Copies of this chain bind each other. A is one copy, B any other.
């Protein structure tokens, strides 16, 4: 089923059929109806492969993210889709599972379809990936993180700054014996940077992380519970007074554990997570957290791509740094008598 079939069925040249189907140029209402009718009757679906080759225009935006299953990237997608839906552009998603070599492969695959732009999570890529991004000749937006050098544009937050901010808040509230709970993911650079910012501020205050726990795989909520139990038990003689989690899901697990055990939160121990996922609204206590601005990052990235597609000469290298807001909730409160 090709344009030619529609052309023959309607008795109109292929070119005119093409014009009708794309709403391009002037076509008389009569031929227009004739063509549309024929196309509908035949069940014609245009071949974008041929169209794209002929016009060298592809209305696809490659979106490359580390994971689909942890609640944060679907929200980024929501923001992206929201903006792209107002344009002709369509997102196409690739998932890397936090593996650089996988990212490189996915990027290669996607670039081979000659998309109109790339939105890619993070600033850390293999040399080859950076080379591809640099040479692609299309707008590139690196998202989620602004601690580093983008290839082109970037939209995100400073995770180092986010870590610092939370550390200050915790110290200022009078907590001193702080534990850290996170993922076993050396390649989650954003978690790493938050951790670095966090420990940096602690160090300046003469403090250190007292103990830490790491997990991988499984139900994050359950892991949060288990890790919390483990870290608390391990430090019973000199108890911890604060637990900083690298994401809200494990923090929620920790919160549920503490409540189960009748531990006074935040009196006996304070808790904080990261991401401000919607989920935490349903918990028994409002968990302290920090908004990672996911929807807004998605929106801003999509806007940059859309603008650059409209206007290819303008706006290279734009960097947007969003400011994550802290939310103290009920689990991070100024202590009566700070040490």
Contacts and interface: CB of A to CB of B under 8 A. Distances in A.
Nearest to A59: B109
A279 B221 contact: yes
A256 B278 contact: no
A114 B132 CA distance: 26
A113 interface: yes
DSSP majority for the A interface? helix
Given A43-B131, A78-B69, A48 B113 contact: yes
Interface of A: 1, 43, 45-50, 52-53, 58, 68-69, 71, 74-75, 77-78, 81, 90, 92-93, 95, 108-109, 111-114, 131-132, 135-136, 218-225, 252-253, 256, 260, 278-284
Contact of A58 (B1, B49, B219, B280): B49
A90 to B, nearest CB: 7
Counting every copy of the chain, the complex holds 2
A77 to B, nearest CB: 6
Nearest to A95: B81
25 contacts: A1-B135, A43-B132, A45-B108, A47-B112, A49-B49, A49-B114, A68-B77, A68-B78, A69-B74, A69-B75, A69-B78, A74-B74, A81-B95, A90-B109, A92-B92, A218-B281, A219-B280, A219-B282, A221-B282, A222-B282, A224-B282, A252-B282, A253-B282, A256-B283, A256-B284
Contacts of A45: 108, 111-112, 132, 136
Nearest to A250: B282
B113 A278 contact: no
A112 B81 contact: no
Given A93-B93, A112-B47, A113-B49, A225 B282 contact: yes
